[in-house]
Amino acid sequence: MEKALGFVRDIDWAGEKILVLGSMLELGENSVRAHANICRHADSVNAAHIFLIGEEMIQAGRNMEWKSPSVRFCASIDELADSLDRVVNSDDLVFIKGSRGMALERIFPVLIAEDKI
């Protein structure tokens, strides 16, 4: 995930960069440190919006001081989808990453809606 966030940070993009980061469920005893590390990397992307979902990712996000202007903690996939629907435009880059168990593909209908294409 660190390398992917670095790619998003370094790519030139006409629209806004939006990050959707879900908990990484397979980390075991390294979970707290790894989630904190990912939040720090996400903060370096200069994204217009960062959305965090999942207990581990939200906890890590609440424990840091963000430079990013818009960090949102989403308690459910429905809350995440509603929030994305309000901010995503057709020229935005939306980076989505989390464990398979987070089933983040459930937000795809918002991203492929007619007014977003």
Domains along the sequence of the chain with CATH: 2-116 (3.90.190.20)
Q: Quick check: helix, strand or coil at residue 94?
A: strand
Q: Tens digits of per-residue pLDDT, 55-106? A: 999 999 999 999 998 999 999 999 999 999 999 998 999 999 999 999 999 9
Full-model pTM: 0.92
b/e sequence 13-39, b meaning 16+ C-beta within 10 Å: eeebbbbbbbbbeeeeeebeebbbebb
- The answer to whether 73 and 58 are in contact (CB under 8 A) is yes
Does 114 score more than 90 pLDDT? no
Residue 112 token pair = 């492929």
Does the pLDDT of residue 117 top 60, yes or no? Answer: no
32-52: pLDDT as tens digits? 999 999 999 999 999 999 999
**Cβ–Cβ < 8 Å for 86, 107:** no
Give mean pLDDT, residues 20-41.
92
| 94, 105 Cβ separation under 8 angstroms | no
SS3 72: strand
Q: Which residue has the tokens 């990912």?
A: 38
